């Protein structure tokens, strides 16, 4: 029997891996590199295995007319040059799949600009962990499928055109299996990601070296002073951002109803973006991180 804590205690023992702060604290820590490698290998297509990882910068220059930069949750490279991007999506966003393709394409394009001969560009894998329902999975073929892989394949033969860009979605909102029913490593990872923060002890079925490492890495009390301070700061920022965003939406809806226009809703949300950006600047976050959280340009943030 797996004991999952139902209480809402003020100070949980373990981070919520589905929060941006918790995800960053565990998987963004290079001391937990082997845990990240094991997770990636559980969701990557057959035949692709990560051998080693080098953590890379999460920020790179934009390529649009607005010249906006892109800040990713986590980016790392294998020893053969393959790039892995891991994104945590806790809240629903419009056009998220398109944004994932844009992120992966920009990284792929940045690699093509390097001195690589004969267009032998290492592939880019973007793995998005979703805590929301972003796609229509009503077709029976999606039953008991929570990980999907999108690549460049021919429509009828499914022949792979080239080994370039892969988008992988791990849909935890739809994953409702009990641990006793989790027989594959992939299912066990989905269970651990979704429930780790509420597990009082590591269940027998997860008693492996990797899941013990994950369990220990999520223990807040074991964080260093600097890491705990950063985690607390990130959690405050995340909660403030969620609250401001919800308030802005509510005020925008109210104003839109009063005026009978959609503009009120958009302006309310835009004002919320500016207010949260001010708060994040006061907390000492970089302009690049603020841009990722709010969608504002670096110029707009610097002008605040």
The predicted model scores a pTM of: 0.76
Q: How many alpha carbons lie under 13 Å from residue 216 in its C-beta half-sphere?
A: 10
Q: What is the pLDDT of residue 181?
A: 95
Mean of the pLDDT values across residues 255-262?
55
Over residues 282-303, the mean pLDDT reads 74
- Residue range 244-257: mean pLDDT, rounded: 62
Integer angstrom CA distances of residue 82 from 35, 51, 108, 223, 297: 18, 10, 10, 31, 29
Report whether pLDDT(53) > 90: yes
pLDDT of residue 100: 92
Indicate if the pLDDT at residue 210 is higher than 50: yes
Confidence of residue 298 (pLDDT cuts 50, 70, 90): confident
Q: CA distances (Å), 170 to each of 47, 86, 104, 283, in order?
A: 19, 11, 16, 32
């Amino acid at each position: 029997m797996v004991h999952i804590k139902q209480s809402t205690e003020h100070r949980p023992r373990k981070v919520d891996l589905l929060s941006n702060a918790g995800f960053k604290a565990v998987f963004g820590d290079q001391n937990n590199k082997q845990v990240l490698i094991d997770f990636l290998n559980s969701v990557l297509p057959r035949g692709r295995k990560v051998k080693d990882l080098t953590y890379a910068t999460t920020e790179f220059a934009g390529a649009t007319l607005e010249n906006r930069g892109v800040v990713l949750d986590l980016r790392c490279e294998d020893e053969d040059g393959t790039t892995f991007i891991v994104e945590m999506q806790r809240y629903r966003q419009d056009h998220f799949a398109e944004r994932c393709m844009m992120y992966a394409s920009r990284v792929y394009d940045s690699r093509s600009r390097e001195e690589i001969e004969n267009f032998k560009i290492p592939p880019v894998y973007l793995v998005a962990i979703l805590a929301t329902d972003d796609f229509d999975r009503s077709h029976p073929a999606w039953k008991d499928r929570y990980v999907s892989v999108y690549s460049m394949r021919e429509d009828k033969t499914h022949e792979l055109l080239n080994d370039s860009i892969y988008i992988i979605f791990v849909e935890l909102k739809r994953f409702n299996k009990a641990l006793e029913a989790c027989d594959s490593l992939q299912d066990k990872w989905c269970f651990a990601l979704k429930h780790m923060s509420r597990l009082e002890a590591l269940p027998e079925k997860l008693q492996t070296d990797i899941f013990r490492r994950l369990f220990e890495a999520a223990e807040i009390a074991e964080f260093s002073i600097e890491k705990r301070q950063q985690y607390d700061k990130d959690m405050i920022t995340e909660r403030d951002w969620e609250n401001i965003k919800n308030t802005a939406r509510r005020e925008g809806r109210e104003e839109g109803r009063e005026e009978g226009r959609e503009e009120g809703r958009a302006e309310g949300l835009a004002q919320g973006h500016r207010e949260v950006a001010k708060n994040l600047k006061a907390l000492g976050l970089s302009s690049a991180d603020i841009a990722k959280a709010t969608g504002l340009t670096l110029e707009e943030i610097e002008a605040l």
